[in-house]
């Protein structure tokens, strides 16, 4: 029972990270009309930036968080014109070209990380961020402060982003473009500008995710980007590309499922779960469990 | 109701999609307080004219003026803010979003008076008030048209352009919609609408233009057009 | 011959073959990354057969091809007509899963890999010669087959599918069969490449078969030109050679360099360097010289 509770908490933290990643990815997909395979790599890059800032400012967490968010936004906004240039029209996703472009960006980021930082070996986050102090003891299991803070921040972030999407003017504009870009134009919603806004928003999300990952995992490495990238795609595909609510459900479910497998079976197989489920869904229900919302 | 200043004017406007000339040297004007009708068959260029006036397309040649200021090339969102809006044909609403969200989208560029405008729209269309949290997809055809018009009203426009309001609606519902348009006009809104079905629209309008393959082939008061034998033959009773 | 030349020629041949393996499915808009997984699986399979079970290289090679083809065929039954995105993810998944499986399999050396594979024929230098001959025979054969495909009814159908899947279907093209065909063929080639790749170095290691390979082959076809097969022939040696002539310091950043070149090409010259029009003109010029009747009018 104790393992179960601990793993569910872990799972919720992990799950909220998946949800945020999937939401950032989906936003870019449905508002900016691009497939950004390298979005998780942008996140991992921001983790590295946060680490550097922590190193040089004597563990100033606030600065590190701001730096992470800043670098995500910057990377997104820098790649925006590249994506815009290769898109054939603004109202439909050009899957092939945006995918290849983002794969290229991912290649570059991952390799820079492999060469430029710590010779490509994993780097650990200091105590200030990756709280490894046990906060609670439930029987034999201790719940670390990092897990609790990432859970709290994760829940707040997920609620925040969904509130933004469903209850604010900007969110309405995003959803309008997601449903019908031509119709949105006729209402006077500026497509290109709103598209850029979505780059910025997923940038902010990206920075937050970087911080959350640092808190939950306590480390980062160049390979983390690829692994997480594939998981996020798995979540999006299982839920249905572009499906925000689906991403919420599947992200949380996957997080909890992985955590349970980690707790009861073993670590390396928990990663396989996502892929196996994804393969099955893709082969038998290619539109995802909740439907594609492109 | 004496129409006065010119709200929208098109002078020798030509629009092309690639090699296709959609509009050729169109002259048109809509004066404040009028209801003006654009009649024409499918493909005549009615939608192009309305969308170009909104700012979706940039004219190849000619000048479009709104309230005496040229707006050729000005993007749609700015024109919406200046007081023009379009109730598009068929895609007036976002089917997956609620009635309320749709209306709020109409106020995207006019959020300061949102509550006041919402109340007015609900007065005009009590059925929308009843269904404000319903997903637009579940509304009937007539209710969706009302939602589209209500959404246009949320931007507090001076000129409302409506593209084929009667399309796909039952005759009784069409009558309702035209009644609404007439009432809106009496309240002070200027209306430019396009229609394939000329009779009902000309009956409520002040003036009209007939578009044929991108050109204005005939124009005049609604009375004149209704009695014109060519118009009667081609467009009335269709 | 010098070792450096040997590696250059051998690896270039692999690059050409594998990039063709990516090029062919992309003719129907599929990025068939499964081929890298095919390399890995067939490669380790062959290594295991030769080193642990004493099979001859040639049998292992044939089995490697077969394994690639069979796996490619089976998977294509599901994704033959799937959207590009799906094909990409399935490919990535298999790469990931097969890497994980190999990592955990002691029998094929796990993370250590396999070393000291026997030579293909006699002395190391004969081994190298034989491999090179084999590789380039393969290049010629595969190139010939692809050339025939391009200039056949199937090739035109593939172009139609690339431009508009629904239109192609309404014209009578069997998308599923086309997809299955190109995917199976590519996976077959990739399987053989995996075996050969290992024997070039006489070892197998997980580091040989990473996602980097995906990036490299993708760069080759998009920089060379994804619309014709000749782009790969030029881009593969050029890109691989580039990293050999650069100073080692810079060369270690080759993935970044490839990525940058890829992005630059996508933005500036989207069809790649050898565009379809250029290839067509050259081909025309050559065949006109031999006074052959052109039966294939320019069709996109």
Distances (CA, A) of A126 to A64, A69, A130, A144, A219: 12, 18, 6, 14, 9
ipTM of the predicted assembly exceeds 0.95:
no
The residue extents of the domains of chain C are 3-207
For residue B61, the surrounding DSSP H or E stretch is strand B61-66
> Percentage of chain B with pLDDT > 90?
51
Instruction: List the one residue out of A164, A169, A239 whose CA is nearest residue A208.
Output: A164
CB proximity A175 to B under 8 Å? yes
Q: Do the two chains B and A touch, given a threshold of 8 Å on CB pairs and at least 3 pairs?
A: yes
Chains C and A are in contact, defined as 3 or more C-beta pairs closer than 8 angstroms: yes
Asked whether residue B230 carries a pLDDT value surpassing 60, the answer given is: yes
Answer yes or no: do B104 and A169 touch at CB < 8 A.
yes
Q: Give the mutation candidate from A188, A193, A194 for the B interface (greatest B CB count, under 10 A).
A: A188
Count of CB contacts below 8 A, A vs C? Answer: 96
Neighboring chains of C (3 or more beta-carbon pairs < 8 A):
A
Instruction: Return the partners of chain A (3 or more C-beta pairs < 8 Å).
Output: B, C
CA B149 to CA B87: how far, in whole Å? 6
The answer to whether the Cβ–Cβ distance between C263 and A101 falls below 8 Å is: yes
Instruction: Flag if A175 and B77 touch (Cβ within 8 Å).
Output: no
A127 touches chain B (CB under 8 A): no
User: Is A202's pLDDT higher than 60?
Assistant: yes
Does the structure show a pLDDT above 80 at A68? yes
What residue ranges do the domains of chain A occupy? 13-224
**Can you tell me the mean pLDDT for A107-120?**
84
Residue A49: burial class (beta carbons within 10 Å; 0-12, 13-18, 19+): buried
- Binding-face residues of C in 222-261 toward A, CB within 8 A: 222, 252-253, 255-256, 258-260
Structure confidence at residue A132 (pLDDT): 65
* Pick from C84, C253, C270: CB nearest A111: C253
Q: Is B137 on the interface with A (CB under 8 A)?
A: no
Cβ distance B155 to A188 less than 8 Å, yes or no, reads yes
Is the per-residue pLDDT at B44 higher than 50?
Answer: yes
* Shortest alpha-carbon distance between residue A214 and chain C (Å): 24
Q: Rounded to a whole number, what is the distance in Å from the CA of A269 to chain C's nearest CA?
A: 9
Whole-number pLDDT of residue A130: 66
- Asked if residue B71 has pLDDT above 60, the reply is yes
| Residue ranges, chain C, pLDDT below 50 | 299-300
Q: Which has the higher per-residue pLDDT, C116 or A31?
A: A31
What does the radius of gyration of chain A's CA atoms come to, in whole angstroms?
19
Chain B residue closest to A175 (CA)? B97
C88/A100 Cβ within 8 A = no
> For residue A173, is pLDDT > 60?
yes
Size of interface A-B (CB pairs under 8 A): 57
Quote the CA–CA distance of A281 and A292 in Å, as a whole number: 13
Helix, coil or strand: residue B26: strand
Q: How many CA atoms lie within 13 A of A208 on its CB side?
A: 26
Residues of A in contact with B17 (CB under 8 A): none
Residues 151-180 of B with CB under 8 A from A: 151, 155
Is the pLDDT higher at C132 or at B43? C132
Say which of A101, A268, A275 has its CB closest to residue C93: A275
Are residues A161 and A23 in contact, defined by beta-carbon separation less than 8 angstroms? yes
For C245-292, the DSSP string reads: HS-HHHHTTHHHHHHHHHHHHHHH-TT-SS-HHHHHHHHHHHHHHTTP
Inter-residue contact B214 to B23 (CB < 8 Å) = yes
Domain borders along chain B are 6-83+157-235
- pLDDT, average across residues A223-252: 86
- Our CA-based measurement puts residue A186 at a distance from the nearest CA of chain B, in whole angstroms, of 7
Select from A175, A186, A190 the Cβ nearest to the Cβ of B56. A186
Res. A294: pLDDT tops 70: no
| CATH pick for B6-83+157-235 out of 3.40.50.300, 3.30.365.10, 3.50.50.60, 3.60.15.10 | 3.40.50.300
Per the prediction, chain A carries an average pLDDT of 85
Closest chain A residue to the Cα of C26, Cα to Cα: A96
Whether residue A108 and residue C255 make contact (CB cut-off 8 A), yes or no, is yes
**pLDDT over 50 (residue A141):** yes
Q: Is the Cβ pair B108, A189 closer than 8 Å?
A: yes
Binning pLDDT at 50, 70 and 90, where does residue B238 land?
very low
Helix axes A191-217, A39-56, angle to 10 degrees: 60
What's residue C187's pLDDT? Answer: 96
Tokens of C70: 């069979």
pLDDT at residue A7 is higher than 90:
no
Range with the poorest average pLDDT among A107-111, B122-126, C67-71, C99-103: C99-103
Among A47-51, B101-105, C294-298, the range scoring the smallest mean pLDDT is C294-298
Q: Compute the CA torsion angle A229, A230, A235, A236 (nearest 10 deg).
A: 70
Interface residue B77 vs chain A (CB under 8 A): yes
Cβ contact (<8 Å) for C266 and A100? yes
A233 vs C contacts (CB less than 8 Å): 89, 92
Q: Are C236 and C19 in contact (CB under 8 A)?
A: yes
- Probe site for chain B from A169, A173, A181, A187 (most B CB atoms < 10 A): A187
| Beta-carbon contacts of residue B55 (< 8 Å; ≥ 6 apart) | B71, B73, B74, B75, B76, B77, B78, B79, B84
Among A120, A282, A288, the strongest candidate for a mutation testing the C interface, having the largest count of C CBs within 10 A, is: A282
> Cα(A224)–Cα(A51) distance, rounded to whole angstroms?
15
| pLDDT in the model for residue B10 | 92
Asked whether residue B73 carries a pLDDT value surpassing 80, the answer given is yes
Shortest distance between the Cα of B106 and any Cα of chain A, in A, equals: 7
Q: Beta-strand (E) ranges in A131-249?
A: 134-138, 141-144, 219-220
Chain A residues whose beta carbon lies within 8 Å of the beta carbon of residue B86: 186
DSSP annotation of A120 reads G
Using an 8 Å Cβ cutoff, are C60 and C134 in contact? no
Q: What is the mean pLDDT of residues A54-80?
A: 89
User: What pLDDT sits at residue A133?
Assistant: 67
Which of A35, A100, A278 is facing C222, going by the closest CB pair? A100
A201 in Cβ contact with A27 (< 8 Å): yes
A237/A239 Cα distance (integer angstroms) = 5
Closest residue to B108, CB basis, from A169, A175, A179: A169
Query: Mutation test of the interface with chain A: which of C91, C92, C221, choosing the one with the most A Cβ atoms within 10 A?
Result: C92
């Amino acid at each position: 029972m104790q393992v179960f509770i601990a793993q569910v908490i872990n799972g919720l933290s992990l799950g909220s990270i998946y949800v945020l990643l999937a939401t950032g990815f989906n936003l870019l997909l449905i508002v900016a009309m691009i497939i950004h395979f390298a979005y998780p790599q942008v996140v991992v890059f921001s983790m590295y930036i946060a680490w550097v800032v922590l190193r040089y400012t004597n563990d100033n967490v606030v600065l590190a968080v701001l730096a992470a968010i800043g670098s995500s936004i910057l990377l997104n906004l820098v790649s925006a014109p590249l994506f815009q240039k290769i898109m054939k029209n603004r109202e439909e996703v050009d899957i092939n070209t945006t995918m290849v472009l983002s794969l290229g960006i991912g290649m570059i980021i991952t390799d820079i990380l492999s060469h430029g930082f710590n010779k490509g070996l994993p780097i650990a986050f200091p105590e200030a961020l990756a709280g490894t102090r046990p906060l609670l003891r439930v029987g034999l299991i201790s719940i670390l402060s990092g897990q609790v803070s990432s859970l709290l921040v994760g829940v707040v972030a997920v609620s925040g982003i969904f509130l933004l999407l469903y209850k604010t003017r900007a969110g309405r504009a995003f959803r309008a473009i997601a449903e019908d870009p031509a119709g949105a134009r006729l209402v006077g919603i500026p497509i290109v500008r709103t598209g850029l806004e979505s780059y910025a928003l997923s940038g902010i999300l990206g920075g937050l995710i970087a911080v959350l990952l640092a808190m939950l995992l306590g480390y980062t490495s160049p390979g983390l980007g690829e692994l997480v990238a594939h998981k996020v795609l798995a979540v999006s595909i299982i839920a249905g590309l572009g499906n925000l609510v689906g991403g919420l459900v599947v992200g949380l479910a996957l997080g909890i499922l992985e955590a349970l497998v980690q707790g009861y079976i073993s670590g390396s197989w928990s990663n396989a779960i996502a892929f196996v489920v994804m393969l099955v869904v893709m082969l038998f229900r290619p539109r995802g469990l909740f439907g594609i919302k492109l | 109701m004496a129409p006065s200043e010119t709200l929208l004017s098109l002078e020798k406007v030509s629009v092309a999609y690639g090699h296709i000339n959609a509009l050729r040297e169109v002259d048109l004007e809509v004066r404040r307080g009028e209801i003006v009708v654009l009649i024409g068959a499918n493909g005549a260029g009615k939608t192009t004219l309305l969308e170009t006036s909104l700012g979706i397309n940039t004219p190849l040649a000619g000048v479009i003026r709104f309230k005496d200021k040229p707006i050729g090339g000005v993007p749609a969102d700015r024109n919406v803010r200046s007081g023009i809006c379009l109730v598009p044909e068929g895609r007036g609403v976002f089917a997956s979003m609620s009635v309320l969200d749709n209306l709020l989208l109409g106020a995207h560029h006019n959020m300061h008076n949102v509550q006041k405008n919402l109340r007015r729209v609900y007065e005009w269309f009590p059925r929308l008030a009843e269904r404000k949290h319903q997903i637009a997809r579940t509304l009937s055809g007539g209710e969706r048209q009302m939602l589209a018009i209500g959404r246009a009203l949320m931007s507090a426009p001076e000129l409302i352009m409506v593209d084929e309001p009667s399309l796909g609606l039952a005759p009784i519902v069409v009558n309702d919609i035209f009644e609404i348009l007439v009432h809106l006009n009496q309240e002070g809104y200027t209306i430019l609408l396009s229609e394939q079905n000329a009779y009902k629209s000309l009956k409520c309008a002040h003036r009209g233009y007939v578009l044929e393959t991108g050109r204005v082939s005939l124009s005049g008061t609604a009375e004149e057009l209704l009695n014109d034998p060519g118009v009667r033959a081609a467009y009335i009773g269709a | 011959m010098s070792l450096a030349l040997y590696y250059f020629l051998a690896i270039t041949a692999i690059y050409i073959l594998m990039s063709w393996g990516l090029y062919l499915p992309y003719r129907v808009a599929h990025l068939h990354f499964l081929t890298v997984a095919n390399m890995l699986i067939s490669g380790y399979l062959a290594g295991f057969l030769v080193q642990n079970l004493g099979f001859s290289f040639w049998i292992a090679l044939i089995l490697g091809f077969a394994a690639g083809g069979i796996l490619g065929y089976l998977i294509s039954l599901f994704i033959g007509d799937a959207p590009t995105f799906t094909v990409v993810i399935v490919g990535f998944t298999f790469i990931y899963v097969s890497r994980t499986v190999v990592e955990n399999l002691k029998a094929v050396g796990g993370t250590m890999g396999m070393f000291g594979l026997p030579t293909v024929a006699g002395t190391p230098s004969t081994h190298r010669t034989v491999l090179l001959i084999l590789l380039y025979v393969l290049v010629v054969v595969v190139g010939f087959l692809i050339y025939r495909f391009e200039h056949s009814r199937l090739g035109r159908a593939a172009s139609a599918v690339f431009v508009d899947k629904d239109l192609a279907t309404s014209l009578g093209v069997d998308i599923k069969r086309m997809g299955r065909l190109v995917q199976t063929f590519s996976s077959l080639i990739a399987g053989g490449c995996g075996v050969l790749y290992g024997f070039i170095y006489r070892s197998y290691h997980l580091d040989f078969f990473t996602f980097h390979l995906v990036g490299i082959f993708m760069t080759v076809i998009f920089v060379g030109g994804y619309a014709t097969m000749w782009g790969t022939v030029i881009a593969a040696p050029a890109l691989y050679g580039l990293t050999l002539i650069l100073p080692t310091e810079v060369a270690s950043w080759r993935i970044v360099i490839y990525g940058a070149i890829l992005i630059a090409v996508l933005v500036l010259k989207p069809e790649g360097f050898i565009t379809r029009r250029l290839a067509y003109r050259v081909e025309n010029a050559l065949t006109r010289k031999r006074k052959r009747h052109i039966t294939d009018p320019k069709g996109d």
